[in-house]
Amino acid sequence: MAAGSTYPVSTADNNQEQVFAGTLTFTDASAQPVPTTPPITAGTLPATAAWVSATAKVNPVARPITVAVEFVTAGTNTIATCVIAISPDNVTYTTLGTPGTSAAVNNLGAITELVNVPLPQGWYIKLTFANGTVAASFYY
């Protein structure tokens, strides 16, 4: 974007209520923010170590990431679940969701579910799973 360029902006929250309306002006095209760790531009994606149920992991880089959580059910005619929770302080967790499979479906063989979880810089992610496993997850 060229310095001095002006762009109209209008944003809304999740309830479609207008939060901001106005104009953005770029004053210096050469002074754009640069992340401390550049985003991945080539090669394979980095991975977390293997997961242990109910054990948290901290975002390993100095920028927000997305963690691709691959939950594989046991296929043993039991309810399989994976509680996904995040925390800014490794104490207070908020559950984002609980992907899972019913016993009636889980008896047909292992089922793989992929969930992408946005994780802010410095935050923790905890997976608590039953009747399934989570291998190392990739992040980007």
**Residue 136's pLDDT is what?**
78
25 and 60 both lie in a single domain: no
In a domain, 123, yes or no: yes
> Does the pLDDT of residue 35 top 60, yes or no?
no
* Domain containing residue 24: 1-31
CA pair distance 126, 116, nearest whole angstrom: 14
Inside any domain, residue 26: yes
Amino acid at 11: T
The reply to whether 11 and 76 lie within a common domain is no
Residue 66 and residue 4 share a domain:
no
For residue 33, give the amino acid letter.
P
| Same structural domain, 72 and 107 | yes
Measure the CA–CA gap between 43 and 136, rounded to whole angstroms: 17
69 and 15 housed in the same domain = no
Residues 6+ apart with CB under 8 A from 7: 1, 23, 24, 25
> Same structural domain for residues 73 and 19?
no
* Whether residues 63 and 110 fall in one domain: yes
Where is pLDDT greater, at 14 or 11? 11
Inside any domain, residue 103: yes
Residue 65 lies in a domain: yes
Binned at pLDDT 50, 70 and 90, residue 78 comes out as very high
* Number of domains, the chain: 2
Query: Do both 23 and 73 map to the same domain?
Result: no
- How remote is the C-alpha of 61 from its chain's centroid? 13
The predicted model gives 81-92 an average pLDDT of 97
Q: Which two tokens stand for residue 128?
A: 């608590």
Compute the distance between CA of residue 52 and CA of residue 71 in angstroms, rounded to an integer. 12
For Cα atoms 68, 74, 80, give the angle at the middle one, nearest 5 degrees: 70
- Give me the residue label for tokens 């985003």: 39
Strand partners, 56: 126
Is 45 inside any structural domain? no
